[in-house]
Structure 1
Amino acid sequence: MKKIQKGNNNNPDGKFDNKLNMSLFDIVMVGFTRYQQKDVIPKADAIKNKLYSLMTSDQEFIEAITTGTSNKGKVQKIFLIWFNALSEIIGTSDYELRSFSDSFKKELFDANPTCSICNQQITSLYDSVVDHKIPYSLGGKTEPANGRLTHRYCNFARGNRD
């Protein structure tokens, strides 16, 4: 992720730095782990605009991502600034597990090692995954009633189609 510098009379659009800013990358990516994709994507423009605003007008944020990258207090501060910004835009996160537990997968495998998609036998527990009957990305919950055993390949080939 590249840091943007505030525009001026010669370049009103501002400019991106030539090199990646790993501190900036880290805070943005960690911030996104607190939310579900379906909550982030509809607000992508607002999130991008807020990030650009922080990079161009919040002096504490700018300093922390450019010169304070080894200062624990500054690192904590930029994470807090970014988490608060995301919370203002997206709201509070109701984080929900996306993956079924290994013990649930083993229960399904022991009960019936047949792929629910292709109806072929699954020969190894390690070649199986628990698939969401209603895809997670379409609002399917990670709960036993919405889980079914499939081949790893069949699950990935299915994608998020219902």
Structure 2
Amino acid sequence: MIYAFDTYYYDEYAKTICISFEDWTSEKESEIYSEETSIISVYESGAFFKRELPCILSLLSKIELKEGDIVIVDGYVTLNDEGKKGLGGYLYEALEQNYPVIGIAKNGFSSPDPRRRNVYRGESKTPLFVTSMGIDVDEIKDSVEKMYGSYRIPALLKKLDQLTRE
């Protein structure tokens, strides 16, 4: 099973959604998980994980991950060529390196990272930025390219983003 997470911040709380789906080409989710939590940290440039990781871990505590499951975050797993971790890297560590974590980011990050792949989908000239830990990033690049939907953002990830904002 693949579990994709995203969090949106409102004035008083954070809303985290997880969509699970069977495989990379799935057209429809298997299940949707949702949780609202208190915001425990203000946004800190360069330390986004401090704000979002607790939200993801809280919702993840209600999901029973099994061997072979994969976790996706809206963001980066690695940030530069020196191995600096992004949100996904900290999540990978929090999961004791038992489950692959993939970061699919919509916005570029200025530091070079040889583990980052650009994924062009549909007719978009703007890539998605894919990073990973626990699984080969080139394998994931191909998988993200094949995700259902004709546009830059795969259909299930677009739905995930919309659900956090409802």
Structure showing greater radius of gyration is: 1
Which has a greater percent of strand?
2
Which has a greater percent of helix?
1
Q: Do both share a fold (TM > 0.5)?
A: no
Report the TM-score when normalising by structure 1: 0.21
Report the TM-score when normalising by structure 2: 0.21
Higher relative contact order (CA 8 A, sep 6+): 2
